[in-house]
Structure 1
Amino acid sequence: MKSSVIKAFVAAATIAVAMPAMAQFNVGKAIGAGVKAAKAATLTDEQMAAYVKESVDWMDANNPVTPDDDPYTIRLKKLTDGLTEADGIPLNFKVYRVIDVNAFACPDGSVRVFSSLMDIMSDDELLGIIGHEIGHVAKRHSKKAFRTELLTGALKDGVSAAGGVAAKLSDSQLGQLSQGLVNSKFSQKQEKEADDYGYEFLKENGKNPWGMVQAFEKFQKMEDEAGAKPTYIDRMFSSHPETVARIKRMTERCQKDGIARQESK
């Protein structure tokens, strides 16, 4: 990793202990204190889009994105070929070369996959995770979470937009927003909706939705054997029983649809 990224990570050392797995992901200079109640503010869709773009651009500029000729990039491009939009939202994909096991999607359809996650997942399993993350985008869960982060974080002091132009955010605010994007936690209802959307999305695009089940099973096994939760497990599953229930429900969907399970390689 570039020294500038390492320095930026050191500057973020005061981040909450609840995020230890983000060992190499640069959350920048995010040092915001506790979350305060949001002041009344109005954000148009255009202003929201501007803030999302600024945040995604900041993350891509401050983290090690694998180049086009990198094996990680080549693999992800091959897997996501033809996955261009979800419910009218254009999709784009990039790999961050970091040690954390994680992936996330932004309201604008930007999907970011960490190289360490790719290392432990088969192609079908990785697509299962991507399908689930796209579900959060298509169902606007990511948009709602980002808006909440804006109003209780970066814009908590009433910083707003003037004349329809989004107020410029500082590095510290962008770092805080980036942390929120990467580690957004959703309700069980939202996770279920993302599972269901991801299932249909994968099936409609000629991908095997069993990959989602197999990815969940792999995470469950990792948790059982190691007794520890990689960031993605901690973020995506609120409790072990819920993980089991989600695996069962998605397995039954695959079986009902007569889709053949391909064993992980």
Structure 2
Amino acid sequence: MKYITSLFFVLALASGVSRAQSDSSPSVMQALMQAATSATLSDAQVVELSRASIKEMDAKNPVAAANDPYAVRLNKIVSRHQTIGGLPINYKVYKVADVNAFATADGSVRVFKGLMDIMTDDELLAIMGHEIGHVVNRDSRDAMKSSLNRSAIRNLFGSTSGAIGKLSRSQLGTAADYLLGAKFSRNQETEADDYSYDFLKKNGYNVMALATSFEKLAKQSGGGQGGKVAAIVSTHPDSASRAQRVRDRAKRDGLAR
């Protein structure tokens, strides 16, 4: 129901804008269109948008060739998991030093060289389980709807004059929008952690690899390399807490002492 509330909010705000201002300000119409789009966004549209986005990102980043040692290693790790629930998973490595990984709704999973450099094969598999969880849980669709709602409201405020308009167009407005997105994604991260744990357990892998991967991220974020790990930890729950949560669950399941 969140998108309906946001849509009504945007329409109510728009009713206070004069006809002349609406005609001369494309941001207002863009805001209304974004709000409406978020309310009607389908899974198929999200997949199509994700496919276009990942194509652009692949073009802008150095992608490891099929015979590159990083690509060979990743493909070996995920060899049993090329398809999940009937959806083909497309894995690629970005030869970038950042410690990061992400997934999109079309089944694309991208792993950064920096992440592979600090993780064991088991830990990388645990992280892949987490990213696949985002795909299975349709987090890309939910995140896209949330982003459209926030963007619509900011565009509407940004089209106005005065202090509110200046604030929404400023870096502070951008930071506020980002923080809203970070809060939204943190809720999804816990569900993806649970998916990864179940994925590892179901396939006979070591569930503790998920805990140790989080512990490495916690150590990296506190070790003076915050810039390199910011992408993977800034929108996520605390890595140390996530590791402890996995350890506690593994103890309850009799998989750890």
Q: What is the TM-score normalised by the length of structure 2?
A: 0.67
- Does 106-115 or 183-192 show the bigger shift? 183-192
SS at match of 2:61: coil
Residue correspondence of structure 1 range 12-161 to structure 2 within 5 A: 38-41=34-37, 42-149=40-147
Structure-2 change in CA distance of 1:153 and 1:61 (3 Å): farther
Whole-angstrom CA distance in 1 between matches of 2:56 and 2:148: 15
CA contact (8 A) 1:106 1:143 kept: no
- Give the corresponding residue for 2:199: 201
SS at match of 1:66: coil
Residue correspondence of structure 1 range 153-192 to structure 2 within 5 A: 186-192=184-190
What displacement does 1:256 show? 3.1
Whole-angstrom CA distance in 2 between matches of 1:85 and 1:201: 13
- Give the corresponding residue for 1:251: 247
- AA aligned to 2:247 is T
Q: How many residues align?
A: 199
Whole-angstrom CA distance in 2 between matches of 1:227 and 1:102: 13
What displacement does 1:85 show? 3.3
SS at match of 2:105: coil
CA contact (8 A) 2:46 2:105 kept: no
- Give the corresponding residue for 1:218: 216
- AA aligned to 2:67 is D
Whole-angstrom CA distance in 1 between matches of 2:148 and 2:57: 16
Whole-angstrom CA distance in 1 between matches of 2:193 and 2:118: 21
> Which one has a bigger Cα radius of gyration?
2
SS at match of 1:104: strand
Whole-angstrom CA distance in 2 between matches of 1:102 and 1:185: 18
> Structure 1: which 5+ residue stretches go unaligned?
1-34, 158-179
What displacement does 1:234 show? 1.8
Which has the bigger relative contact order, CA under 8 A and spacing at least 6? 1
- Does 37-46 or 49-58 show the bigger shift? 37-46
* CA offsets 1:93-150 (integer angstroms, 9 cap, x no match): 0001112111001111110000111111111121122211221221111221134345
- AA aligned to 1:77 is N
Whole-angstrom CA distance in 2 between matches of 1:245 and 1:68: 36
Whole-angstrom CA distance in 1 between matches of 2:235 and 2:42: 28
Whole-angstrom CA distance in 1 between matches of 2:132 and 2:198: 11
SS at match of 1:192: helix
* Structure having the larger proportion of residues in helix: 2
* CA offsets 1:28-82 (integer angstroms, 9 cap, x no match): xxxxxxx967331233333222211111122122221100100000000000011
Structure-2 change in CA distance of 1:188 and 1:149 (3 Å): closer
Structure-2 change in CA distance of 1:80 and 1:51 (3 Å): same
SS at match of 1:248: helix
- AA aligned to 2:110 is R
Whole-angstrom CA distance in 1 between matches of 2:52 and 2:69: 28
Sequence identity of aligned pairs in percent?
45
CA contact (8 A) 2:214 2:243 kept: yes
- Give the corresponding residue for 1:235: 235
SS at match of 2:102: strand
CA contact (8 A) 2:43 2:141 kept: no
> Structure 2: which 5+ residue stretches go unaligned?
1-29, 156-177
- Give the corresponding residue for 1:173: none
CA contact (8 A) 1:124 1:210 kept: no
Whole-angstrom CA distance in 1 between matches of 2:109 and 2:98: 16
